[in-house]
Chains A and B, each alone.
Chain A
Amino acid sequence: MSGQNLPPLSLHVPEPRSRPGEAADFSDFAIPVAGAVPRPESHARPADIRDLCYDMIRVLDDQGRARGPWNPRLASETLLRMLRSMALTRAFDDRIYRAQRQGKTSFYVKCTGEEATSVAAAHALDYDDMIFPGYRQQGLLIARDWPLVDMINQIFSNRADRLKGRQMPIMYSARGANFFSISGNLATQYPQAVGWAMASAARGDSRIASVWCGEGSTAEGDFHSAMTFATVYRAPVILNIVNNQWAISSFSGFAGAEATTFAARAIGYGMAGLRVDGNDALAVYAATAWAADRARSNQGPTLIEHFTYRAESHSTSDDPGKYRAAEERVKWPLGDPIVRLKQHVIALGIWDEERHALMDAELAEQVQQAQREAEKNGILADGLKQNFDSMFEDVFEEMPWHLKEQAAQMLAERRAAGI
C-alpha cells in the first residue's frame, strides 16, 4: 500500500438486474418506438449515421403494423415463408430438445426467441452468399430449406451423419447451403468470414459473406481482428451480433453492455453499425438488406446488433433457473418474434389463427417424420457404430504412416475389446 493519503480503489464487478427468486425488472428499458429511426441511403458514410448504433430499428409496432422507413414492404409470400421457417425452427428445437432428454444424443442448443435473427437475415441474403454461423443459427439452415433429416443425422451422430460422428450435435457443415462448418470455439468464424469476403472482392465476384456471433463472444480477440480487417479492406461482409443478453450464466455486462451498445463497437472502427430489434423479423430483414446493399456496392462491412433475449437455457447442459430470474422471459418487453410476425400477417389479412394452428401441427408432424427417418440410421446411444477406420480419415488429405500405424493399433484394441 502506498503511503499517500488517497481513497482506496474499488473494483467493479458487473451484476445482472435480477437473480433467481428476485423479480425481473426491465423498467429501465425504454421501449423504442417502431418506425421512429430514420433510414439513411445505403451508401451513407459511417460517421454520419452513428446514431443508428444507439437507437433501435423497429418496424413492427404493438398492434403488428409495419411502421416507418425501414419497413421492407415484403410480398405476402415472403412474409409467410419467413413465418413458416421460424415456426419450423421452433418446432425442430422443441422436438430435438426432447430427443436429447430421451437420451438419443448428448447435447442440444435451442434458439427459442431468437429465430428472427437468423431466419429473417437468411431471407434477405442471396442463397449463394456465404454464411458463417455460430452454434445457435440453425434458423439459417432451415431458412435455406436444408433437409431436416440430414440435420438430425448429424445431431444423432448416426450412420448417415455426413460428418461421420466427429462433431458434437448441432455443429453442422453444409456446403450445399453455402453454410460454413461450425466450430464451437467462439468467434473464430468472424475473421474467416472477413477473409472469405476479401477473397470474393479480390476476385471481382458479386457474392458477399455474413457471419454471426453472440454478444458474449464479442469479447474474443477474433471479433476485434475481424473488425479491423473488415474495415481496413472494406470487406463485403455483414457482421451480426446476436445480443441475447446471456452467455451461459454471464449476463451481457461481462461483454461490456453496461458501458455502451454492441452496435457501437462499429464506431471505433469507422464502420457502419445498426442496432436492431432482433425479435422483429421485418427489422432484421430490412437491416440485413441495407447492409447487403452496402456490401454489394463496395461500401464495405456493416455491424448489426440484434437485440433479443435467450428465452431458454444456453444448452441442454445448464439450468437458467440457477442464475437468472425465472420471470425474465415473460417480462421481457420485446415479445416473441414468431408471435409478432404472426400478428403482422394476420393484421394484413393474409393469415389467421386457424391456419397458423394448422401450420404448427403440420410442422410438428414434419419434424417428427424427419426424426423417425433419421432414427432409422441410428442414434448416438447405439454406441460405436461409425466405421472405426473413419476416425483417421480427413486428418490429412493423404494418411501419413503414423496415422496408418495408429489405425492398426486401434483396430487391434477393438478386437481385444471383443468389438
Chain B
Amino acid sequence: MNENLATKWWTPVSLRGVVSFAWISLLITSLMCGISWMRGDDTGTSMSLMVLIANSVIVWILPEDVPARPVPEKFGLFVVCGASMSALSINYLFHRSGTDIGLTLVDYWMASPSLVVGAAAVTAAIKSSRWFMGRATTSEALEGLARTKRHTGRITQTAKQIVLLHLGIFAILPPIWTIMLSLSPGNSLSMDFSLSTATLEHYRKMWESDRFWGWLWNSIVVSVATTIFGLTVAFPAAYGFSRYRFHGRKIGLFMFLIVQMFPGALILVPYFIVMKGFGLLNTYVGLVIAYSVTALPLCVWLMKGFFDTIPRELEEAARVDGCSQLQIFTRIIFPLSLPAVAVTCLFSFLAAWNEYLLALTFLSDTDRYTLPVGLASMVSSAQAGDSYWGDFAAASILISIPVVLLFVMFQRYLVDGMVAGAVKG
C-alpha cells in the first residue's frame, strides 16, 4: 500500500468528532450572545461574542475535503481557539457569578458546551499533532482509519441525540410550564413551583366547576354534530365525484378546491349578519352549520381520494350478482371505506373542537361558550391581576391530554390526510 495515500485519506476521528460537537456549541453560543444582550449584560455579550468567534474558527478550519491536506499552522489555531473557548467560558461563568443575579441553570447550560468542546479541541489537537505536521506514519494512519470506522457512527449518533434533546425540550417547554403552573398554588403567573407545595386545587376547582363542564358539553355537542352532519353530506358527494363521470364534474371539484382559499375573514362578516338575522347567534345550530361547511371541502377531497383507490370492479361484480345500489353502498363501499371515514371524522371533529374565531364571533353568552372561547376568557385580561392562570392551566391540561393522545395514536393518518389535502387542495 502506498504510504502517502493512507495518510492523505485519513483525518483523525477525534478532530472530526470535535467539529461535530463544535457545531452544537456554536448554536448554543449564539444563543448565549442573544441572551446576554437581552439581559443588558454588555460584558457578557462581548465575552460570548469572542467565544463565538473562536468556536466558528474550529468549525470552519478542518478541511472537509478528502484527501485532507494537513497544514501545520492549523494546529496552532486549533489549540489556541480551543483553549480560548474554554478560558472564556470559565471567565463568563465567573463574570455571571459576580452579578447580582448570580449563576443560574441557564448560565451553566450556555457556558458548558463551549467549555467542554474547547477542552476537547485542545486535547484532540495535541494528540493528533503528528497528523497536523504531516508526519503520521502508515501504520498510524491505518490504525486511525480503523478507529474512524469504529467511532464515527457513535459520534454522529451522540451529536444528533444532543440536538434532538434540545429540540425536544424546546417542543415541550410550554406544556411543562403549564403543568407546573396548574400544580402551583395561587392563580398568578409568577409561580414558584416546588414539589412540596404542589397542589391539585386547580384541578379540583375545575372538576367541580359547572361552567367548565358546561363549556365541555357545548364543545362536545357542537363537534359531534358537526362531524355527523358534515360526513352525511360529504360521504355521498365524495362517492359521486369518485365513481361517476358526469358533465360539470371538474367544475364541481374545482369549486371544492378553491373554497379552501377563501379567507375566513371574508365570510365572517356576512356570516355574522346572516346568522344574526336568522337568530342563530348563541345557538348550537349556527355553529354546527358554519363548521360543517368549513370542513366540507377537505372531507370531500379526502374521501374521494380514498374511494379512488377502491377498485370499481368490486362494485360491478356485486351489481352482476344482483346487488342494488343501496346494498352496494352498505355492504361494500361503507365497510371498505371505514378507515377513511374514521380519519375524516377525526379531522372535522378536531377542527370543530379547536376552532376559535367563529365561536368567538357567534357566541356572546358565557353559558354557550365552547371550550376555546371559554378558556381564553379565563385569562382575557391584559393584566395578570384579574386572570385565573392556575385554573386555566389545569383546564388546558385536562383538555389537551385526550387531544394529544388522539394525535399520537393517529399521527400517520393525520399527516397523510393533511398532505393529501394540501397536495390536492
Interaction A to B: no
A→B interface (CB under 8 Å): none
Interface, chain B (partner A; CB < 8 A): none
